[in-house]
């Protein structure tokens, strides 16, 4: 019976956590956990990933570890404010409050993310399209956060498209059609624009190095052939 109670008690917090929504905080900024508590607790304890973060014993407030000097605790509502957010602040937060000898627990999840970086847009001609009028635009944003947190949205006039890639139809080299890519996470977003005519410039710049390599190889082959012919003729003259 005791083992069953222990199992239920150890599993119960996990069930609560599973039902909690994740709160996102911006790197270097501030996150606030609002508890909704109306009656001032006698004792307050906040834990981060099962380790003490900040505690109020009814007389004084104590901060622990990396939270020292970065947390503010409301003694009446138990609201917790964390400043100068770091990536390691992400995780599970557990609040224990004691009021009239009764304990109450609440659980919160925090994920610290960075600002979205300004995206880059690249164009690649579709080699399978014989008409040469199709290309694929790729939008990317360098980020230390998981790519799953980023969303990509293309827009052009009345056209909308989701995802990092967009297939477009091209006109001639002076095609001035503009495409906009917006990258966003739950807190910030950044945009960049791209002109269709840049597709021709980008692909020409890729062709030039290849052409130089091909020409160099051909010159080497010609030079080698001339050397072989010269050596053979020289050997023939010597034998004669």
Break the chain into its structural domains and give their ranges: 13-113, 120-201
pLDDT value of residue 191: 96
Asked if domains 13-113 and 120-201 share a fold, the reply is yes
Nearest to 39 by CA among 89, 87, 104: 104
203-240 pLDDT per residue, tens: 554 443 444 555 567 667 777 776 676 666 665 555 55
94 dihedral zone (left: phi>0; alpha: psi -120 to 50; beta)? beta
What class is the 13-113 domain?
mainly beta
**pLDDT score of 120 more than 60:** yes
Contact predicate 202/193, CB 8 Å = no
Identify any residues that bridge with 33 across adjacent strands, giving them in sequence order.
Answer: 80
CA distance 69 to 209: 56
CA distance 3 to 15: 18
Mean pLDDT for 5-25 is: 57
207 dihedral zone (left: phi>0; alpha: psi -120 to 50; beta)? alpha
DSSP 1-53: -HHHHHHHHHHHHHHHHHTPPEEEEETTS-EEE-----SPPSEEEEEETTEEE
Strands 80-82 and 91-99: unpaired
Residues of the chain with pLDDT > 70, as a percent, come to 76
Contact predicate 98/43, CB 8 Å = yes
Least confident of 15-19, 39-43, 154-158, 186-190: 15-19
Mean pLDDT, the chain, rounded, equals 82
Task: Name the pTM for this structure.
Answer: 0.69
Identify any residues that bridge with 103 across adjacent strands, giving them in sequence order.
Answer: 98
- Sheet order of strands, 134-140 included: 120-125, 134-140, 165-169
Mean pLDDT for 12-16 is: 48
Neighbours of 91 (CB within 10 A): 15
Residue with tokens 């973060």: 53
pLDDT value of residue 24: 95
CA distance 83 to 69: 9
Nearest to 88 by CA among 67, 73, 106: 67
- Range 120-201 has CATH code 2.60.40.10: yes
């Amino acid at each position: 019976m005791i083992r069953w109670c222990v199992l239920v008690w150890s599993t119960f917090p996990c069930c609560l956590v599973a039902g909690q929504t994740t709160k996102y905080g911006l790197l270097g900024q501030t996150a606030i956990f609002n508890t909704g508590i109306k009656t001032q607790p006698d004792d307050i304890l906040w834990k981060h990933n099962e380790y003490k973060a900040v505690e109020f014993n009814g007389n004084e407030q104590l901060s622990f570890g990396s939270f020292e000097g970065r947390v503010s605790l409301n003694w009446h509502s138990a609201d917790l404010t964390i400043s100068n957010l770091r990536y390691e602040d992400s995780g599970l937060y557990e609040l224990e409050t004691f009021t009239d000898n009764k304990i109450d627990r609440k659980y919160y999840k925090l994920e610290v993310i960075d600002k979205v970086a300004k995206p880059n847009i690249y164009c690649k001609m579709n080699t399978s399209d014989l008409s040469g009028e199709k290309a694929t635009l790729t939008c990317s944003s360098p980020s230390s956060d998981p790519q799953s947190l980023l969303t990509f949205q293309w827009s052009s006039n009345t056209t909308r498209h989701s995802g990092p890639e967009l297939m477009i139809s091209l006109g001639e080299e002076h095609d001035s059609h503009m495409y906009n890519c917006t990258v966003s996470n739950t807190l910030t977003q950044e945009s960049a624009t791209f002109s269709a005519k840049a597709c021709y410039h980008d692909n020409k710049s890729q062709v030039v190095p290849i052409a130089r390599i091909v020409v160099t190889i051909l010159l080497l082959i010609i030079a080698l052939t001339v050397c072989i012919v010269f050596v053979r003729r020289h050997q023939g003259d010597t034998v004669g």
